[in-house]
Chains A and B, each alone.
Chain A
């Protein structure tokens, strides 16, 4: 055991810092720092900058354009990017679809789609959830019926994150309604420009248009767009769920978030002293920081273990639960620290080019607190994760 970064790791950290310093556009990091919404262009621009450096897909094998980083390097990149207020990497194409294509896709699919994911030609969104199929994903109803060399797709997906920008959607669809639920599902790639697709916005409680409903009305999808075998989609979806645990704990984002809270608490005065010197606030802050230190190590241990071929086991579920609780706790601290200035709901219309209404760190704290309630709901809710942990650890206990 050695808890210190090695010489090489320190050098890598400096390299990442220098890169972020030089290449991360200030107008984008400023938006991230203030919690403002990024445009599609902002996100694409950052992807392109990372791609130019070969750092867009740390989890891809090198032969596909990945960067052969070990666990510690990934961690360093995550933490440094968060501190620098870099935008998060949009995961749908890069870390959700790509691993499935690499493992189960045809050669033609890999050759066609993977480079386009990297260079940003295609923006992907994830079409799993339906109004009636959330936690119980296998009950999904969107139907795909074979018609010659096409599938005809009918049904509805929902909660489709950033679907309004997407060129493509990867969908779980029902191809056989007469077998056990899990055995009649297929994994289909659908061009969002196909006639019969309609995208309707859902505005979230913080006023942001982040998710959508996607309706399919007799949408014709070439059979070539089926990934792997028909009716094996559930296996691929599960592979994705267990495979995809990069950044599940959100350690970098939590550390940067906590740093911001400290900065706020140094600036805010209450009862004649800075909030950070207030014992109640300081205690809250310290508890979270103590948890986070341990979780950073847990996270590294898990990544190192899986990188060395160890079984993913329950750790992914554990990291998801604990990681989201901590992130939400930090959002709560930020909201508290903002005091009365957490109340305004400022918008471009209100602020425009003028000064922010209160301190510039305050405006988005409450909206973010509410928005990040999603963290414990999506990606397998925390209840579902706890169920998995309990089921595995209690084994045969029925």
Chain B
């Protein structure tokens, strides 16, 4: 066993941390949150240049990483800084789906993703599917798609949407789902965009006889969707963990500086014990992320079990850390301008992407029982 990061990953982490702490300040980020596009193209380009996206792909794919620990290193740093740019959507979800199902003509897209010149969005969840991955009602006939997709993150910026549709079977079947590429200017495609509470943007997507190009064989996309979402679970867990370290650091700093009753509030034992609990749980979260990242290449059941464990644990600890950090700061943490306010929202809202803690608890139970 060895719990050290490779030298390359350490370098990547240090580079990223330095860049983000210099460039991605609270002020810069809050301006991004208020902007119409909800992201900074300049910062996206610079991070791509630093290798943030390349690290998410294997050498075969044209990148220099692509393993679970590459993903966790990158997303932990993005999480620490509260980055709102859609690396998950373009890099992880888009990247995994194209890499998993794309033909030779589509593999060229990966080069563009890594270069930071192509944006993607995964239009999968539907208005009534919540977190059920196999619930797809969108239909396809003669290569044209009709249906509605819900809360599609990064849809407006995407050059191309990856849309799931059902070719056969009933609404919840695992079989019969295909993925399609839909150009952003395709006829019959309508987006209703809006900002997200924790930053970034999404859209309700309507497709009405919209021409599309299928990725891979008909009706066989589900395993690739699950694999892509597993990568997203590692990324989301790592990101939330990174944000939790920031929340904890901010709280520690605040407790030793904020004075009430003539002394730093960190001298009150009532708060000291709670910081201690946060730190204990934070270490648990760190380990849960490591467990999931380390099993990303394992057979699907093991991989998904570890991912469910991480998402459940990180979700629980995330709520504790976000709420305790706000509480121990008092009023100041309630103000939008303060770093913790954004960080707390990033942590808690992670719970709403690809399953909350209860969903993952159930997944874990089902997958353990299937052993």
A interface list, Cβ under 8 A from B: 129, 132, 134-136, 139, 158-159, 202-207, 268-272, 275, 278, 280-281, 284, 328, 332, 335-336, 338-347, 350, 357-358, 366-367, 369-370, 373-374, 376-378, 381-383, 386-387
Contact = CB atoms under 8 A, between A and B. Distances in A.
B331 A159 contact: yes
B195 A278 contact: no
Nearest to B194: A350
Interface in B349-371: 349, 351-353, 356, 358-359, 361-362
B331 A373 contact: no
Given A280-B362, A386-B270, A339 B352 contact: yes
Given A159-B331, A270-B359, A340-B125, A369 B270 contact: no
A136 B336 contact: no
B151 A344 contact: yes
Given A139-B260, A270-B130, A366-B349, A357 B192 contact: yes
B194 A336 contact: no
B198 A343 contact: yes
Interface string B148-162: 001100000000000
Contacts of B345: 205, 370
Nearest to A135: B260
Given A366-B349, A369-B348, A377-B334, A205 B194 contact: no
A346 B197 CA distance: 8
Interface residues of B, number: 49
- Which 5 A-B residue pairs are closest in the complex by CB-CB distance? A205-B341, A136-B260, A345-B197, A280-B358, A339-B130
B127 A377 contact: no
Contacts of A374: 331, 334
A16 B2 CA distance: 69
A135 B358 contact: no
A340 B335 contact: no
Contacts of B353: 340, 343
Contact of A387 (B198, B202, B270): B270
B8 interface: no
B47 interface: no
5 contacts: A135-B260, A135-B261, A270-B131, A335-B348, A339-B356
Task: Name, among A271, A281, A345, A346, the residue most crowded by chain B CB atoms within 10 Å (CB to CB).
Answer: A345
Contacts of A378: 331
A341 B152 CA distance: 11
Contact of B194 (A204, A206, A339, A345): A345
Interface of B: 125, 127-128, 130-132, 150-151, 172, 192, 194-198, 202, 204, 259-262, 268, 270-271, 319, 323, 326-327, 330-331, 333-337, 341-342, 344-345, 348-349, 351-353, 356, 358-359, 361-362
A142 to B, nearest CB: 17
Contacts of A376: 327
A358 B260 contact: no
A340 B330 contact: no
B27 to A, nearest CB: 15
Nearest to A210: B334
Task: Name, among B150, B349, B352, the residue most crowded by chain A CB atoms within 10 Å (CB to CB).
Answer: B352
Contacts, number: 137
B194 A346 contact: yes
Given A358-B150, A387-B270, A205 B336 contact: yes
B98 to A, nearest CB: 23
Given A204-B335, A269-B130, A358-B150, A343 B330 contact: no
B331 A272 contact: no
Given A135-B330, A376-B327, A204 B336 contact: yes
Nearest to A338: B352
Given A139-B261, A344-B194, 13 more contacts: A134-B330, A134-B331, A136-B262, A159-B331, A202-B335, A268-B130, A336-B351, A343-B197, A357-B204, A367-B197, A370-B345, A373-B323, A386-B270
Contacts of B341: 205
Nearest to A371: B334
B326 A340 contact: no
Given A280-B361, A344-B196, A205 B335 contact: yes
A140 to B, nearest CB: 12
Task: Name, among A206, A284, A339, A367, the residue most crowded by chain B CB atoms within 10 Å (CB to CB).
Answer: A339
Contact of B352 (A136, A342, A367): A342
Contacts of B362: 271, 278, 280
A266 to B, nearest CB: 14
Contacts of A373: 323, 326-327, 333-334
Given A203-B336, A377-B327, A383-B270, A340 B194 contact: no
B57 to A, nearest CB: 27
A383 B269 CA distance: 11
B130 A207 contact: no
B258 to A, nearest CB: 9
Contacts of B348: 335, 366, 369-370
Contacts of B326: 373, 377
A158 to B, nearest CB: 8
Contact of B132 (A270, A280, A370): A270
Nearest to B199: A345
Nearest to B196: A343
